Amino acid sequence: MLSKVAERVYWAARYLERVENTARLVSIYDMLLFDMPRQVNLGWYNLIVINSLESAFAERYTVQDERNVVKFLIGDDSNPGSVVSSLRAIRENIRTTRDVVPAEAWELVNELSLYVQENLAQGINRSNRHEFLEYLIKSCQQIAGLLYVSMPRDEGWEMLMLGQNIERADMTTRNLDAGVAAIMQVEDDEHAVNSRQIIWGNVVRSLNADQPYRRAMRSSIKGPKVVEFLMTDPHFPRSVGFCLSELINAAEALPRSEKVIAAIRKVHRVVMGNFEHEEYGTEFRDELNDLQIAIQQLHFLIGTTWFLTDQ
């Protein structure tokens, strides 16, 4: 498979995953805020922090309110990770890999881009936001489903798996980080008695992990259990450990992968280690940050191994 095509498929998968995650994050956040006591000061701006977009956001907006945050995450084409920008990237990538990706995928991506262009205002205003995000999430799942049932399990598929799982691993660490950040923010707030549990519950839900968590952990929502589940569960497709195993599987099916596999294994061992803390605070956030950097390095290594055109 052409290196350049491989790279585009990898990015298409990453962006597809990102659109779904962003849509889910925004839709879940609504509900979290409804559950918190009104006096508790937990803002939409957290979504910007989770995604490490503080400086990009500051360039565009001064007011850190709901409207601006949602607009920035969904409809802002100056934000490269926004839904609109991600979709454009998916469309360009699929358009330039049409010889690898099934033709229907191109039609679906095209339809979704048109839908988002035509209904963007709905997504930003609160009243119809739910339908808009719902459609977005379903469309992403439809595309992923189409690829799953129709793509040959060749190198193109493995590239797709690499992109999907690296994006997921990264997203899960960011969701955890967001949870801890929120908890720290409300810690000294006397009104926020039950907020810890509400926030952890929200982290679990935003990863679509509610049922799988309860079944696997047989426990109510508790910080240490949530962390353990989202880090190490061997069956849940968004746990960091699961994503890393998938990365290993994909890499094993690709040529010249020894270095990449060794590097993923190293990160995997760290993830499967111990993240128990009495309090989930700064120390845990530092660990998550290190993990994000390690994932980023895997990304670079994938690039130098398979995408670099100077061979």
Partner 1 sequence: MSIDWKQYELQDGFYDELISSPGNARQPARQLANYLSSLTEEDILSRKIAAESTIKDMGVSFTVYTEGGNIDRAWPFDIVPRVISRNQWDKTAEGLKQRLQALNMFIDDLYHDQKILKDGIVPEFVLKQSKNYRKECEGVSPRFGVWAHVCGTDLVRDKDGQFYVLEDNLRVPSGVSYMLENRSIMKRVLPEVFEKVNIAPVGDYPENLFNMLASLSPRKDERPVVVVLTPGIFNSAYFEHAFLAQRMGAELVEGSDLIVGKDDCVYMKTIAGLERVDVIYRRIDDMFLDPEVFHPESVLGVPGLMRAWRKGKVALANAPGAGVADDKVIYAYVPEIIKYYLDQDPLIPNVETFLCYDDKQREYVLANLDKLVVKPANESGGYGMLVGPHSTKKEREQFADLIKSNPRNYIAQPTLALSTAPTLIGRNKVEPRHLDLRPFILQGKDSYVTTGGLTRVAMKKGSLVVNSSQGGGSKDTWIVDTGTSKS
Backbone Cα Rg of the chain = 19
Q: What is the DSSP letter of 53?
A: -
By CB under 8 A, what part of segment 69-98 binds partner 1?
Answer: 92, 95-96, 98
- Per CB under 8 A, which region of 1-9, 37-45, 75-83, 163-171 contacts partner 1? 1-9
Closest CA to 162 of 16, 60, 35: 16
CB atoms near residue 117 (< 10 Å): 12
Which one of residues 35, 65, 107, 131 is an interface residue with partner 1 (CB under 8 A)?
107
Which CB, 31 or 308, lies closer to partner 1? 308
How far apart (Å, rounded) are the C-alpha atoms in residues 31 and 35? 6
Q: How many residues bind partner 1 (CB under 8 A)?
A: 26
Which CB, 159 or 226, lies closer to partner 1? 159
Closest CA to 53 of 20, 28, 76: 76
Residue entry with tokens 């850190």 = 64
Rounded to 5 degrees, φ, ψ at 101 are -90, 140
- Per CB under 8 A, which region of 47-55, 102-110, 226-234, 269-277 contacts partner 1? 102-110
Report the SS3 class of residue 208.
Answer: coil
Which CB, 2 or 121, lies closer to partner 1? 2
> Smallest distance, Å, CB 2 to partner 1?
6
Contacts of 275 (CB under 8 A, 6+ apart): 227, 228, 231, 284, 287
Which CB, 99 or 278, lies closer to partner 1? 99
Closest CA to 287 of 231, 225, 205: 231
- Residue 75, CB-side half-sphere exposure with 13 Å CA sphere: 19
> Smallest distance, Å, CB 157 to partner 1?
13
CB atoms near residue 39 (< 10 Å): 9
Can you say whether residue 122 is alpha, beta or left, with left for phi > 0 and alpha for psi between -120 and 50 degrees?
alpha
By CB under 8 A, what part of segment 179-198 binds partner 1?
Answer: none
Which CB, 159 or 199, lies closer to partner 1? 159
How far apart (Å, rounded) are the C-alpha atoms in residues 232 and 227? 8
- Residue 216, CB-side half-sphere exposure with 13 Å CA sphere: 20
By CB under 8 A, what part of segment 249-308 binds partner 1?
Answer: 254-256, 306-307
> Smallest distance, Å, CB 187 to partner 1?
48
Q: Per rule CB under 8 A, is residue 152 in the interface with partner 1?
A: no
> Smallest distance, Å, CB 6 to partner 1?
5
CA 263 to chain centre: 21
Q: Per rule CB under 8 A, is residue 309 in the interface with partner 1?
A: yes
By CB under 8 A, what part of segment 108-147 binds partner 1?
Answer: 110-111, 114
| Contact letters for partner 1, residues 35-74 (x by CB under 8 A) | ----------------------------------------
Which one of residues 39, 59, 77, 103 is an interface residue with partner 1 (CB under 8 A)?
103
Which residues bind to partner 1, rule: CB under 8 A? 1-6, 92, 95-96, 98-99, 103, 106-107, 110-111, 114, 155, 159, 254-256, 306-307, 309, 311
